[in-house]
Amino acid sequence: MARPISDSAYQTLSTGICPWLQAPLLQFETAHGAGRLGHGWLLAGPRGVGKINLALFAARRLLEGKDGDVRILEAVEAATAMAQRHEPVDRHPDLHWVFPEAKRSTLTVEQIREAAQALSLTSLTGQGRVLVLEPADAMTTAAANALLKTLEEPGADTYLLLISHQPGRLP
């Protein structure tokens, strides 16, 4: 019997991902493998439980080409990138990672509009586009309103991963 998930996901499940993330990863992989993956995912939980690692894994799976090659850092390598505020993480041209700018604690309407504009363009690699908002609960009300159209009517092969430490604070 074939596994409902990819070999790379199985490897990650069995060796590299936190045990408490196995269920959401299996849900993601099953939906992705069946072609029933929703365009928007809310990755919610307390700080430090691995939501960023899960988002990196999901982005890798969504953006990989036919040969399985994708230029996104491994989760372990990404730990350093996260400490440096994500600069090296956005190596794939169709991965858009939005986070608060230096000395700010919110995601601004300008950041969301810029990301929405990037998502409206044709994929540079032909594999789709992924937007990660981290943390999504840091959006201002104006930023959330700017995201609404993209969230309701994304383009083909466009995926939004919203990381939230406090989902009750989402605008």
The pLDDT tens digits for 22-44 are 888 888 888 988 888 889 999 99
Confidence bin at 7 (pLDDT 50/70/90):
low
**Token digits of residue 159:** 């995926």
We find that the CATH architecture of domain 7-169 is 3-Layer(aba) Sandwich (3.40)
Given this model, what pLDDT does residue 86 score? 47
The pLDDT tens digits for 45-90 are 998 888 888 888 888 888 875 444 444 444 444 455 455 444 444 4
Strands 129-133, 40-44: parallel, antiparallel or unpaired by DSSP?
Answer: unpaired
The pLDDT tens digits for 8-18 are 544 544 445 67
Given this model, what pLDDT does residue 80 score? 52
Q: pTM of the entire structure?
A: 0.77
Q: Is the peptide bond before 135 cis (omega within 30 degrees of 0)?
A: yes
Q: Determine the residue type at 117.
A: Q
- 46, 18 Cβ separation under 8 angstroms: no
124 class by beta-carbon count within 10 Å (0-12 exposed, 13-18 middle, 19+ buried): exposed
Given this model, what pLDDT does residue 8 score? 52
